[in-house]
């Protein structure tokens, strides 16, 4: 069913909206959750919660990209679950993502600088806009969708180590961009 | 800022970027299919070179004592077969032919200012067929982003030096690598395929491979160039899979020709001169071109494989080619 039709069902408060969403985007959302949590049962629970959250938000929320909207909900729920539980369990997907992202943090003397999340997102979007398309896609797939380096290498036809090196370069590039931005704000 | 904050910042990536990533399809094969052959042949050259050297030393040392042993010489043609590539089979009428000088108004195929690519190729084979030969499917395999026609107004060679980690000679070792590219400034006169900014001078940068060289385009000549988006940095071939530690890998341009190791399609007054490995373009109507002028060493292999197409025939064949590889 087309997204437009599914959204109409949400607006009509027709519960078929949830089953159609699950049918069309269940696998997509499950992949995002699993990439972050790496525990199938927890991922499944996040996906179930995704439909409920979408049900509660639409209306009034109207979205241009229903798929991205659902993906964001799943990702947020997965991150919340990670934060709530990571003292008890180890979610390897998220742990690896976070440790990689340490490479992007501007030099130590800037660590204490608190940044507005929205401003930071804006800078990241600006940096992404300037990247070649494939690099942009790779970064987003890795750090937003949480795809593994191994899977990205397989998708793009590169070896795993080449992909890891490409990711490293992207992280360094982001670090440079963030450092420049921070120095402008000082 | 800490990693958690950064992760939160990444959560705010715009919906259109997320959607682009979700919809994006990578090519089914490695982006630069000739590169895997480059690596394989590099290894092969080292192995063959070592075997020949050892055999040569043994034979040389043994000549005075026991007579000669037999040595098998591996030629470039054999490497083509190893690579599994068919040699081009031009299907043109061999009765009529053109002289290159007739078509270009006496211009040499070289501009008398040949770059010294040879220094990059001497360590490997001198065969022209070291790499996988060109075939048209590379247009889709390498995600051709546009085909443009333009005149070369400037050309220069650029070198990239860098260091990379290597445990070859001990833990935490560092080695140095060097790669080079040929950079062209092109004034675009025509866009054959896809949208492209025609207003500016286009910079095209082709990367040399250690055992083979880019066949340089000539200043003052015009060419039809299938391009792909190489990215902002060169691939440091010398480093292989090792991490590059220092050095500037930033390219002059993101654009590269799809296959820089064969003569590019040259635009001349009455039509186009191209190599017969453009099979869709050269089937049926192409006329052989005798390369009667000074041409670079790298072109030797293509000496009897160049053909001519009239402007109309070329345009017709290009239509077919672009449809076939979804470049429209």
Give burial (CB, 10 Å; 0-12/13-18/19+) of B235.
middle
Which one, of A137, A133, A120, lies nearest residue A177 by Cα? A120
Q: Is B328 on the interface with A (CB under 8 A)?
A: no
pLDDT at position B153 over 90: yes
Query: What is the pLDDT at residue A137?
Result: 93
pLDDT at position B88 over 70: no
Which one, of B36, B48, B54, lies nearest residue B79 by Cα? B48
Distance CA B226, CA A103 (A): 37
Q: Which of A118-132, B32-46, B150-164 has the lowest mean pLDDT?
A: B32-46
What integer best gives the mean pLDDT of chain B? 72
More confident residue, B277 or A160: B277
pLDDT at position B125 over 90: no
Contact A68 B22 (CB under 8 A): yes
Give the pLDDT band of residue A142 (cuts 50, 70, 90). Answer: very high
What integer best gives the mean pLDDT of chain A? 83
Residues linked to residue B59 through DSSP beta bridges, in sequence order = none
Q: Which parts of chain A fold into alpha helices (H)?
A: 3-11, 16-37, 40-57, 66-85, 92-101, 117-130, 133-143, 149-156, 160-185
Q: Is B96 on the interface with A (CB under 8 A)?
A: no
Contact A72 B11 (CB under 8 A): yes
pLDDT at position B200 over 70: yes
The whole-number average pLDDT for the span A15-38 is: 89
C-beta neighbour count of A108 within 10 angstroms: 7
Give the pLDDT band of residue B184 (cuts 50, 70, 90). Answer: very high
Query: What is the pLDDT at residue B30?
Result: 46
Which one, of B156, B240, B256, lies nearest residue B202 by Cα? B256
Distance separating the N- and C-terminal Cα atoms of chain A: 51
3-class SS of residue A38: coil
Query: What is the pLDDT at residue B90?
Result: 43
pLDDT at position A128 over 90: yes
Q: Which residues of B touch A64 (CB under 8 A)?
A: 15
Distance (Å) from the C-alpha of residue A15 to the closest C-alpha of chain B? 26
Q: A59-62: which pairs have CB atoms within 8 A and are 24 or more residues apart?
A: A59/A10, A59/A11, A62/A7
Q: Is A185 on the interface with B (CB under 8 A)?
A: no
Residue pLDDT, tens place only, B60-80: 444 433 333 333 333 333 333
Distance CA B171, CA B259 (A): 38
Query: What is the pLDDT at residue B91?
Result: 42
pLDDT at position B319 over 50: yes
Q: Is A165 on the interface with B (CB under 8 A)?
A: yes
The whole-number average pLDDT for the span B142-164 is: 89
The whole-number average pLDDT for the span A39-63 is: 86
Residues linked to residue A146 through DSSP beta bridges, in sequence order = none
More confident residue, A6 or B87: A6
Q: Which residues of A touch B18 (CB under 8 A)?
A: 65, 68, 71-72, 140, 144
Distance CA B229, CA B256 (A): 7
Query: ∠A38-A42-A44 over CA atoms, to 5°?
Result: 100
Reported ipTM: 0.78
Point out the residue among B16, B232, B243 whose CB comes nearest to the CB of A132.
B232
Which one, of B275, B319, B317, B321, lies nearest residue B109 by Cα? B275
More confident residue, B24 or B185: B185
Contact B1 A141 (CB under 8 A): no
Q: Is B17 on the interface with A (CB under 8 A)?
A: yes
Query: What is the pLDDT at residue B132?
Result: 67
- Sign for the CA dihedral angle at B265, B271, B275, B278 comes to positive
pLDDT at position B16 over 80: yes
Distance CA B326, CA B143 (A): 10
Q: Is B68 on the interface with A (CB under 8 A)?
A: no
Distance CA A114, CA B5 (A): 9
Distance (Å) from the C-alpha of residue B34 to the closest C-alpha of chain A? 13
Contact B9 A121 (CB under 8 A): yes
Nearest residue in chain A measured CA to CA from B143: A134
Query: What is the pLDDT at residue A181?
Result: 81
Residue pLDDT, tens place only, B242-277: 778 888 888 999 899 988 888 999 999 889 999 988
Query: What is the pLDDT at residue A179?
Result: 85
pTM of the full structure: 0.47
Q: Which residues of A touch B22 (CB under 8 A)?
A: 28, 67-68, 71, 145
Task: Tokens for B203, please give them.
Answer: 């910079």
Across chain B, the runs of DSSP E, i.e. the strands, are 98-99, 144-166, 173-193, 202-207, 222-229, 244-247, 255-257, 265-267, 271-275, 287-290, 306-310
The whole-number average pLDDT for the span A8-17 is: 89
């Amino acid at each position: 069913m087309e997204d437009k039709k599914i959204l109409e069902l949400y607006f009509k408060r027709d519960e078929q909206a949830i089953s159609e969403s699950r049918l069309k985007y269940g696998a997509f959302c499950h992949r995002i959750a699993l990439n972050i949590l790496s525990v199938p049962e927890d991922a499944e629970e996040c996906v179930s919660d995704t439909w409920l959250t979408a049900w509660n938000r639409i209306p009034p929320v109207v979205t241009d990209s229903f798929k991205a909207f659902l993906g964001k909900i799943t990702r947020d729920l997965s991150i919340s679950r990670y934060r709530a539980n990571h003292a008890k369990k180890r979610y390897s997907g998220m742990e690896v993502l976070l440790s990689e992202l340490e490479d992007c943090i501007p030099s130590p003397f800037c660590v204490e600088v608190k940044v507005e999340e929205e401003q930071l997102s804006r800078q990241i979007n600006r940096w992404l806009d300037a990247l070649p398309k494939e690099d942009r896609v790779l970064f987003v797939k890795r750090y937003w969708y949480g795809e593994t380096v191994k899977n990205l290498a397989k998708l793009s036809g590169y070896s795993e180590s080449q992909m890891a090196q490409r990711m490293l370069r992207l992280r360094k590039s982001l670090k440079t961009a963030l450092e420049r931005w921070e120095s402008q704000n000082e | 800022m800490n990693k958690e904050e950064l992760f939160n910042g990444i959560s705010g990536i715009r919906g259109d970027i997320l959607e682009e990533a979700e919809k994006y399809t990578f090519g089914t094969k490695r982006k630069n299919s000739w590169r895997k052959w480059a690596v394989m042949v590099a290894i092969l050259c080292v192995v063959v070179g070592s075997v020949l050297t050892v055999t040569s030393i043994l034979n040389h040392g043994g000549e005075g004592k026991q007579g000669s042993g037999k040595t098998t010489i591996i030629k470039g043609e054999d490497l083509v077969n190893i690579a599994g590539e068919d040699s081009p089979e031009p299907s043109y009428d061999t009765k009529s032919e053109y002289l290159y000088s007739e078509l270009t108004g006496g211009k040499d195929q070289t501009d008398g200012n040949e770059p010294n690519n040879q220094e990059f190729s001497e360590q490997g084979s001198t065969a022209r067929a070291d790499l996988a030969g060109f075939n048209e499917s590379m247009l889709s395999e390498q995600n051709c982003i546009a085909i443009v026609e333009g005149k070369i107004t400037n050309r220069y060679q650029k070198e990239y030096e860098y260091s990379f980690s290597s445990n070859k000679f001990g833990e935490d070792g560092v080695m140095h690598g060097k790669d080079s590219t040929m950079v062209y400034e092109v004034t675009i006169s025509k866009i054959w395929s896809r949208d492209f900014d025609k207003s500016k001078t286009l910079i095209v940068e082709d990367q040399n491979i250690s055992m083979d060289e880019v066949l340089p385009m000539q200043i003052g000549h015009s060419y039809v160039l299938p391009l792909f988006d190489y990215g902002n940095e060169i691939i440091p071939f010398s480093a292989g899979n090792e991490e590059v530690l220092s050095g500037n890998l930033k390219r002059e341009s993101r654009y590269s020709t799809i296959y820089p190791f064969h003569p590019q399609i040259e635009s001349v007054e009455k039509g186009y001169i191209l190599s017969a490995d453009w099979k869709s373009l050269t089937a049926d109507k192409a006329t052989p071109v005798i390369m009667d002028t000074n041409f670079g060493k790298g072109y030797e292999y293509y000496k009897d494989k160049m053909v001519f197409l009239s402007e109309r025939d070329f345009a017709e064949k290009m239509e077919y080619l672009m449809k076939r590889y979804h470049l429209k």
